[in-house]
Chains A and B, each alone.
Chain A
Amino acid sequence: MSSVIWRIVGGVLNVGIVLLVAPLGQGVLRKVTARVQSRQGPPLWQPYFDLLKLLGKEDIESGETPRMQRFAAYLSLATVLAVACLVPMGFASPMNGAADIILLIYLLTLCGICTLLAGLAAGSTYSLVGASREMMSMIALEPVFAIALIVGALHTGSFRLDTVLNGSVYGTAGVPWSGLIMLAVMILSFQAFVQRVPFDISEAETELMEGPLMEYSGPKLALFKYAQMAKLVIYSALFVRMFVPWGAGFTFPLAGLVFWAMFWAKVAVVVLVVTLVAATHARYRIDQAIRFFAGMFAAALGALVLASYGY
């Protein structure tokens, strides 16, 4: 019984932290981008104010089926928060006994589905173009992420979240070839997972005016933006857990706390790197991006074959 309570506490903690930290990540992103571009930039807290402001603004529904628009908006942040309950963030995954990596892969897809439904329901031509692009990048990206997890599953022989999300890609013996290839692949395609420049093709402010989100305003836009910020944090956390999980070796009483703090420090570094890449690159076209992802997929398949032979 107590384990159930701890799981609930863990879940609440994960959701709470993601909700609290996500806008800060966005704030850092905007500030650093501005600095790189020799601007002053908004204060770090600006995204919090933006969200609060949006929550109170008028909610204009342009679609013919507003119920679907509302459903998509609520579900998009809800799914991201549910994913937060699957990821071990400094301590064991709260949903470890009820979910495995296959569910994680498909839940992350569900986050994308919500954006698609939102775009389709809004009905603007721009939204639909954005939805089509978003789906095409999902097709190319989902298997890459899946392979990263499956490589870990092959090395450990298990699908459990705590086992796989623990640096498992590197295996145990010898030079971890498959793990290193996957690390390279994930670094190269990470911007796409968190939908930042140079892979923010589905939103593309300058040509599609936010794509699927173009018609949204007020609280719904706040929810979508919030979900996107939370995604950055969660994907960074997943990256840290999969590829740089070290730091649990401390033995003094505060080990747990230190481990927890180190985890979030590493997440912050990942966010910073994402920002720097985003601030210094230009957007790819969708066909260029798909070709790039196809290359990543081919490399990942190679890693997968290596992993299945134990390398």
Chain B
Amino acid sequence: MLTPEQSVLVAIVACLAGAALTLVVARNKVAAGWVAFAVTSVSAAVILRAVAEVLWRGPSAHPAAFWAMPRFGFALRIYVDGLTAVFLLLASVIAVPAAFYSILYMRHYREYGVGRYYPYFLLFLAAMYGLLSTTDMMWFFFIFWQLMTLPGYALIRYEHRKKENVWAANKFLIMMQVACAATMIGAELLAVGGKAVSGSASLKYDFDTVSANLPLLLATRPGMTALAFGLFLMGFGIKMGMWPFGQFWLPDAHPAAPSPVSAMLSGVMIKTGVYGVMRYFLWLVPVSARESYPLARWGMLVAILGTITLFTGTMQAMKQEQTKRLLAFHSIGQVGYILLGTGACMALVAANTPAATALGTIAVCGALFHVLNHGLFKGLLFLNAGSMLHATGTQDLNQMGGMMKFMPVTAVTALIASFSISGVPLFNGFVSKWSIYVAAIQGSGWAHYLVVCAVIAILTSALTLASFMKFFGVSFLSRTSARVRERAAQGRMEVPGMMQAPQVALAFCCVLLGVVPAIGFRLIGRALGASRGGLGTALASASPLLSGRLGGVGETNSAAVFAPLALGVVLALTFALVYGISKLGSATRRAAVPWLCGYAREAECNRYVAHNFYGEIKRYFRWLGGMPRVRKPPVLKGQF
């Protein structure tokens, strides 16, 4: 059998080969789609097997070296531990529905072939597998980063005849290169410093070498290591969309790509930045360096940056009137939650008491769980947005309305995703936010600022809800818009079954993880147990969360509990009771049109559209930026 490391290499090679193969068959859009889907599924199956092996049998003893040129410190060394496994799991779980959705979705691009789509899609996926599992901080990091960035660039400018897409892709490319440079300079600083303090030069860019040299380096050259870590935070922060707080690249880049790629960009790619922060700041630093490593300060910085990111990202999202742009801003906001969890974990681990470490573990569990959950619901939302675009031909929420009647499956899955991202109980987003709140609030004994961060996160969760009530309400509920009516008259609006299936599958995952969160927490608990490197060792041995009764979760000291199944039963019973009450009077039902005070007829001009929502709050937070740039006045048709 293959070791996990060999499996990752096989998956990468499979994707590369698949990229060549799809190029050959690219003349037939659907055939190329099936080939890409088959290759993605095979690579995902190989990866999932590797993940299962790491989580249940434990990781390999050493990284596997496949190719090395020691003179340059150049080595393809791959290692799959628990942390890597979680992110690999995410990549494969999102890639398969995205690839499946692409098969029919790509047909609607009449002017663009798929020869510039599927090969890049597979290269992009291969690069993410590589980036998440390589232990080389310099050369292979560079290779995989570029292998991810350049196809990403090509995918974002897929519709290259639209000027704004090319500009968005260029911005993406520039930012990614800045991030790449920052991270590599940081790695070079650590490697050079490590060589100077230890004298050994073999594989100086490898995690193991850097980690071994860090205690001495931190003790002798604290300024230089701080600079290196600052550069890591900058580089990975750009990747995950934190810098520059939603202003420049991400909100333009994600909507420009075809929807399944947006799902991959938002669901998976930006998480490689999260992976980088977790890996470098926690798992790379050995326990022996604890005294000289200012973990508490870094934790504070990450947590506060996370809080700023989640608030600004979500507040800007609330102003959006374009489906995919709104979702892209929310990706920034949700990454903020993940960063808050990571920062809280760092700050609490720094306190170095058993109780604080336990809370730190809850925080990182929440962050990792949110990584998975965000992949699921944001992937789903982008597929929903793709279906809406497919059906209406526009991303403009102002022109949508009343679509639930015409596309019920998309509507219900979009509602599930909206509930998940807003943190409604019984959906998956709630559980991960729950653990981040628990850790941040109870951890405020060690770091007072955390409780304020938690309250801002709760406030932001209400903003998220507001944004998604608008997103769902004005597109699927409300009244049928002129555009939707026109499209509906032309024929079936609901997307074909093959495009519904990935949406339904992702929605099912959201509900499953929401009702039985113990699955997620067990998985992450195992992952933490299987990644015993650096300060992560402390997290691996603490087990603060119980898989409580009925598939719920609770803290070991039972200060916080959540049993979703019990809540589900209570809600179902009260729902049945209420249903019974409503039938008591055996009232009859009749359909009618809404009443507009008798002197106005229903028309496109008096529909309440996305632009009209939340005017006061949008006005108060105008200074935060992100106001929609192009606002066409509503089309005045019909009679007054």
Contact = CB atoms under 8 A, between A and B. Distances in A.
B570 A85 contact: yes
Contact of B441 (A106, A117, A154): A154
Contacts of A106: 423-425, 430
A258 interface: no
Contact of A98 (B566, B614, B617): B566
Contact of B590 (A61, A297, A301): A61
B567 interface: yes
Interface stretch (A24-32, A130-138, A182-190, A237-245): A130-138
Interface stretch (A73-81, A166-174, A270-278): A73-81
A247 interface: no
B620 to A, nearest CB: 7
A107 B425 contact: yes
B577 A304 contact: no
Interface in A77-136: 77-79, 81-82, 85, 95, 97-100, 102-103, 105-107, 109-110, 113, 116-117, 120-125, 127-129, 131-132, 135-136
Contacts of B562: 98-100, 102-103
Contact of B563 (A62, A99, A159, A307): A99
A246 B387 CA distance: 56
Contact of A123 (B444, B478, B620): B478
Given A52-B585, A135-B465, A287 B590 contact: no
B404 interface: yes
A124 B596 contact: yes
State the majority secondary structure of interface residues on B. helix
Contact of B594 (A58, A66, A122, A226): A122
B614 A143 contact: no
B592 interface: yes
Contact of A116 (B469, B583, B586): B469
Interface string A42-72: 0000000000101111111111111010000
B192 interface: no
B575 A74 contact: yes
A215 B479 CA distance: 13
Given A103-B425, A223-B578, A304-B451, A64 B584 contact: no
B466 interface: yes
A146 interface: yes
Given A99-B567, A139-B617, A223 B582 contact: yes
Contacts of A11: 570
A159 B594 contact: no
A159 B587 contact: no
Contact of A59 (B423, B473, B587): B587
A62 B455 contact: no
Given A97-B561, A136-B616, A138-B462, 11 more contacts: A55-B581, A58-B587, A64-B477, A81-B577, A99-B563, A99-B567, A106-B424, A120-B478, A124-B595, A146-B455, A150-B454
Interface of A: 11, 15, 52, 54-66, 68, 73-75, 77-79, 81-82, 85, 95, 97-100, 102-103, 105-107, 109-110, 113, 116-117, 120-125, 127-129, 131-132, 135-136, 138-139, 142-143, 146-147, 150, 153-154, 157-160, 214-215, 218-220, 222-223, 226, 286-287, 290, 297, 301, 304-305, 307-309
